[in-house]
Amino acid sequence: MSRSCVRRIGTWIPCVSKRGFSSSPSSSCVQKSGSEQGLKSLNLYSAINQALHIALDTDPRSYVFGEDVSFGGVFRCTTGLADKFGKKRVFNTPLCEQGIVGFGIGLAAMGNRAIAEIQFADYIFPAFDQAFSPLTASLTIRAPYGAVGHGGHYHSQSPEAFFCHVPGIKV
């Protein structure tokens, strides 16, 4: 059992968590302040899944697409989205990073909210021409990095520094 505190609007809120390390989206720590306001602690993949859910739920012109996203993706960040929003809005693409980003640019240019997922950031290099195009202004590219410790030189790179140094790109 771990114990931590969270500062919220000038008040320290004690939090006792019973879950330890878990990838379950239902595991949470409920925190209460003097006014009994409940806060929920999420792991990263659950937070990403909820953010994508909100984007799809609030904007009927939003789409999530990429490698293996229709069944949840390799990190399960898109789990349940295809079932809830349909396979026309959450769908798999071929393993072609420049094609995924290029498709996203076209979708965004037509007034849609395009959320392209590259399975691992290591594979974004073939899509650099498209990713750094001025046309990507309204395109979101999600590319997890450094998450697999046993992947050697292919699933463990952290190319985010390239993106941090390009004007106009938000990381």
Closest to 102 in 3D by CA, of 87, 120, 80, 118: 118
User: What's the rounded Cα separation, in Å, for the pair 55 and 61?
Assistant: 9
Encode pLDDT of 86-100 as tens digits.
Answer: 999 999 999 999 999
**Are 29 and 111 in a shared domain?**
no
Same domain, yes or no: 79 and 31: no
Q: What is the pLDDT of residue 61?
A: 97
- Domains identified in the chain, total number: 2
Asked if 137 and 86 sit in the same domain, the reply is: yes
- Kindly state whether residue 137 falls inside one of the protein's structural domains: yes
**Domain boundaries, position 98:** 44-164
CATH of the domain at 67: 3.40.50.970
Q: Looking at the structure, do residues 52 and 120 belong to the same domain, yes or no?
A: yes
Structure tokens at 127: 């899509």
Measured CA to CA, the distance from residue 65 to residue 162 in angstroms comes to 23
What pLDDT does 9 receive? 45
Does residue 12 sit within a domain? Answer: yes
Share of the chain above pLDDT 90, in %: 43
Name, of 11-20, 99-108, 127-136, 141-150, the range with top average pLDDT. Answer: 99-108
Q: Give the model's pLDDT for residue 132.
A: 83
Grade residue 138 by pLDDT with cuts at 50, 70 and 90. Answer: confident
Asked if residue 170 belongs to a domain, the reply is no
Report d(CA 15, CA 162) in Å as an integer. Answer: 38
Q: Are residues 139 and 120 in the same domain?
A: yes
Predicted pLDDT at 2: 39
Residue where the block lists tokens 């997890």: 144
Counts of helices then strands in the chain (DSSP H, E): 5, 8
Q: Grade residue 168 by pLDDT with cuts at 50, 70 and 90.
A: confident
Are residues 132 and 63 part of one domain? yes
- Judge whether 150 lies within some domain: yes
Tokens found for residue 124? 């974004």
* 65 lies in the same domain as 126: yes
Same domain, 54 and 103: yes
| Structure-token pair, residue 89 | 């809005």
Using one digit for the tens of pLDDT, what is the confidence trace for 26-79?
A: 444 444 444 446 778 889 999 999 999 999 999 999 999 999 999 998 889 999
Q: Per-residue pLDDT for 5 more than 60?
A: no
